[in-house]
Structure 1
Amino acid sequence: MLDGQWVKVKATMEVTTVSRKWKQLCLFIVLAALVFPAGGCSHLDGSFRAASAFEEAGGRSDRGDYPAALSGYEEALKKYPAAGDRALFEMGIIHAHPNNPQKDYGKALECYRTLIKDYPRSSYRPDSEMMIFYLANVTMKDKLLDTQRNEIEVLQREVNKQRDEIATLQREIGNKEGEIASLQQEITALEKAASPPPAVIKGPADKILIEKKERRLTLMAKGEVLKSYKISLGGNPNGPKERQGDNKTPEGTYQIDSRNSDSQYHLSLHISYPNERDKRRARQMGVSPGGDIMIHGMRNGFSWFGEYHTSIDWTRGCIAVTDNEILEISELVPNGTVVEITP
């Protein structure tokens, strides 16, 4: 009975922690979306009235009057269709704004998808595609949170019914404090003995091991680990990359064949994908294998994400680390270094 009660209590605590983290992540993504570059006013029709309409709608949004702001943008969309991409983009931001009491991710997604469909050459398109990707992840996490909340409610009811048993168990635990303290000391000693010593960077590395399932990149030299890093992968991480645009990270053996110190993702090391096997598979499928797979840092302007970027897989097939980490990896990894990517 003692073990069973602690399992239920622990499950309740773990589920609650996961729920809180997802809430923080969802808000984090939406707030990050609000600082995406808006792309200027290049799509306005140039008339004073169009500019005035957008300025008025923007002012309402700044004052927190989101329904009025949406009405203003909808009116501008009807009157000035040439600038409709800006109106749709701003409406999407308002629908997803964390301070909007009537925020609706579904309506935000609809705005961005309409923008991409009706304005395929708009400068707002790249950021709209990124917002669609982020909001789709937020929606998925919301569904997970709902499931977790239901599980928490069931566990809470069960805990409430068994308070007397828990109180009895707590008294038993109190009587064995000395035994528990002794066991904790033994556990601490075992953990210290089992913990591997911190990796010493000796460099240069002769191999990069990327373990997709573990979300881990490890630098190695002569079979020894130099250092490991947490990573983010493509937004569709399961399975090897097969074609251009599938948002998958490749699997196989490659090399670092070039690097770009002026990358839009701070700094990048190019991986020699596709190899001959990848090209042969793509030919058999009748598709393009794609390319431009890199190990890179954060998108320029977003270095403040730091280690939080590993909470989701957000790239289009690349392997992402923090800006400081890509600088360190670049110094340790010369061109020609073997890159092994495992499932």
Structure 2
Amino acid sequence: MGKVHGWISGYPNSFFIRIVITSMFASGCSHLNDGYQAKSTFIEANIFFSQGNYKASLGKYQQIIEKYPSTGDKVLFEMGIIYAYPRNEQKDYQKSLECFQKLIKDYPESGYKKDSELMIFNINNAIIKDKTIATQQTHIETLQQEIITLQKKIEGLEQEVTNKENENIKLQKEVLIIHKGTADKILIEKKERRLTVFSKGKVLKTYKIALGGNPNGPKERQGDNKTPEGIYVIDSRNKDSRYHLSLHISYPNDKDKKRAQQLGVSPGGDIMIHGIKNGFSWVGDLHTGVDWTKGCIAVTDEEIEEIGKLVPNGTIVEIRPGRQDGT
């Protein structure tokens, strides 16, 4: 049976209390003719009831009705009350009804008959109410499950939309490359931290960049962390770069070598246009907040892939001066 909060709906608490108290007093004085042991067992049953040990109380009443049949109406009424008692976690309305119905049938002249009829009426109402609540609860749970299922479907559709959007973005980039053609020049403006890709004098796209950690002036020697300045070409590329993908710039050119020779130093090399260091792609375009390379030109991983598709080997790379001291 479903759990009923409080006492049976529509059943006055005062009536129930009166019945319980009456039955307790009755057990102490109405059956003296059955002997001291019957009286003692009634008292034990009531003590168990008051302690909340309803199972033990029912057991005592069962002993009484077996040994002292003349107390049957009283015992059946008490057992019916216990089976229907709200605080009894093992309450059983069906067994309660059976007790009251047996009392009315077997003891038609009993003083408990009228109260038993009222108990039957209220218990039946409680059963109907419990069934209604259970049906409503089942309906609610079904609706909740349907909502969960719909939410999952919505999430799935949202993911499909996201996937389609990503596919569209990718296609748009590929279409951009096809329509605009192959790039023939890269212009890097150090002061503006900007890389621009050209095709036949027209701008294909611009990108924000990060430079070497010491960006002022041209690169002069190995390890100075400066980005070169001058005219170069893309002479190779590395798809297995530690920086996602890299396009190698033909530094040092003749001018760079001559300057380094005059200074008596190595001009250095390995200047690239590359992505973000592997494992840190999540940084995205935030990487441009600081010049962090050792002289290379850095863009995001997504951008270097795009540039790599636009720019073939042999493309001219012009790197213009960066900021001058005091500017």
TM-score by length of 2: 0.44
Larger radius of gyration: 2
